[in-house]
Structure 1
């Protein structure tokens, strides 16, 4: 039977040449199919970051409102909130490679449509709103399919490493995309950045076409039937190791990841800099995010304790950046904010994927993405309004404070569920926080 790039119907099995377990930072790249996936994603992610930065700057230029930027972001993520779980059902039911070829093509067409409108001089803010919503509709299927497809590419032994490298890929593109977008906006206009983004989706389409389906890891697909959505929700509801990381990521994603609003507001209202410097700020954050992703790729385990601590540190750093008196201190703090924010995302993502049965992974990851990204339609307009009304510093600090409070509250819940108590101790001359099993009453009586 054919194993050519178009043979989706070929039988799938575990390749005997695929590494079973990650041995280094880049171990997943030893897998040919994942290498193609990774390479195509670098190109499209760069275009996506160019479009994101250009879109935010275009909306701010058309309206002069941080709240309008928040509305654009909200419209792009609103479909995930409304329909995200159905996207997971589709991802579990149909071949993911085929779904991704359709969704990546549709994303490219959206980018080209915005390019034509902008280059022709006809673009209006409602055009940007509409295309943002259409992008969100495609992402409803693309996100869970892409997230869960990674396990088919590399298998369970390399899954954690591949998830980290995917994030490193995304953040590497974030280093290049904003900088190129800033140059294009200042030099030839926004439309050319949108055009490059639309054409960039040819790379993942080619990568998906060139893959060898026979080397994919076999994953049982959910049969067509009723109640699959409810089945996925019941599955997560009965698993504290899934539900609490998802809840924490939901709070942080809703209130702590509204950087398009805050960075545009700080650039225009607080420090009075142009599009080039706005791109530079995004690049600094991406540099920290890339470092966080590469560090995560080296780690051999994923612990919920790290997730809680990282979320708390993330919120505290955002508050510190909001209060920064100078531009350069603000810019410097964006690096650790990016690093710790990526640590939160990767730790939660890999913990949830590793703990989920493969047949349920599409639905669980759709819930994860719905909570993480689907909260943006709530958080973005709300924090956009706070930013417009009370200023960029108050808006940024509010997002950080809510993330910090969520980390503290869910950390206490996890400790209680696990029967743990916090213990402070000195190790090597430094304070250390550990969670240890709570002593039972009989043990306390014996000790007494």
Structure 2
């Protein structure tokens, strides 16, 4: 495998094992999501009850993400991932036991999902923070871009596999399959050996508090762009589902196909981002612009077939943007504060998602899915202009300078 190829980070054994583990756990999560959704709907017949699953899952992440970032900066991310995988396997196995009952308790399900969400708050940040110690600095941008592909890869194959397993064996087996995925991640992490000792000698572990981090104007802009786009442009689950089901009166199969095609495009977008020669805010401006352009392109089709045809195009823009914004965040973070910076990024993504969903739903109910897509396109293009203007005013930004400096250490 060429040392400078887009897949070059996979040549490093530690990153390769981490990457495989992330693909496995993202696919496994779909087994759990589908099983719990159908169990709750079957038990209650209520979409509001199903919304409670999402609330129970994400509330702990909102409450604990900043604390989790501090912990990850002080404890080995590998240790956090291994403990998280073990705890997640136990919690998901407990969910399988509860679901196996003749009349599963909804409150117990919510409680266990909240416990899993608390563990996920630490796992998600550790999964981002560990990348820096698994690859050389010149491969960091590509490694981060590749890591974002694991989510899209899970979304492209996970729902289909989960549906087949649910039909064949039921929800308990689906949940146990996810528990096994966490066990596999734990085993893989046993053979991952980060370069944390070398990093620890170069930085002051007590520095990098949030106040001092937010004094960096480039980082502040990045965090604002991340939050605004998550709020108004990334509510694709709601918007795309509404476009297929309401605008084009498509079937559930068409909805699933649209999301699968979108995920395939997202994988391609992540690979395109991996091919970028360096990480910069210029790349972030391009990512915002591409996201805006593909959101706009999705408003053009007037038939379901045409809308499905452009689904991979929107996925391309989404995957490229997500890969770039995470790579720029990694480059912007001081080595001693990667966990806290990624916690702020996750807070922007996860924290805005529920509010963004409400806004998108309101816009769609009163106008149409196309209007929501146009709003997202306008926001993404405005962010692209703001980032480009910031880059021009300050020259090729300090993120590049910091990355270049670290490569010399």
Q: What pairs with 1:12-411 in structure 2 (closer than 5 Å)?
A: 23-55=4-36, 63=45, 65=47, 72-120=53-101, 122-123=103-104, 129-212=110-193, 218-220=198-200, 231-266=208-243, 268-270=245-247, 276-321=253-298, 324-387=301-364, 392-411=369-388
Instruction: Decide whether the 8 Å contact of 2:284 with 2:321 is kept in 1.
Output: yes
Greater gyration radius = 1
Query: How many Å apart are 1:287 and its aligned residue?
Result: 0.6
Which of the pair is proportionally richer in helix?
2
Q: CA RMSD in A?
A: 3.4
> Are the aligned partners of 1:57 and 1:275 in contact in 2 as well (CA < 8 Å)?
no
TM-score by length of 2: 0.82
Structure 1 residues 306, 115: CA separation in 2 closer, same or farther (over 3 Å shift)? same
Question: What's the offset of the Cα at 1:205?
Answer: 0.3
The CA deviation at 1:70 is 5.8
Structure 1 residue 327, shift from structure 2 partner: 2.0
Distance 1:348 1:271 in 2: 32
Q: 1:90 deviation in Å?
A: 0.3
The TM-score normalised by the length of structure 1 is: 0.76
Q: 1:315 to 1:80 in 2, by over 3 A?
A: farther
SS of structure 2 residue aligned to 1:302: coil
Unaligned runs of 5+ in 1: 1-18, 421-448
Q: Map Cα deviations across residues 333-357 of structure 1 (whole Å, 9 max, x no partner).
A: 2212221112112112111212322
* Distance apart, 1:223 and its partner CA: 7.7
**How many angstroms apart in 1 are the aligned matches of 2:372 and 2:262?**
18
User: What's 1:444 paired with?
Assistant: none
Offset of residue 44 of structure 1: 1.4
Question: How much has 1:399 moved relative to structure 2?
Answer: 4.3
- CA contact 1:186–1:276 (8 Å) conserved in 2: no
CA contact (8 A) 1:153 1:217 kept: no
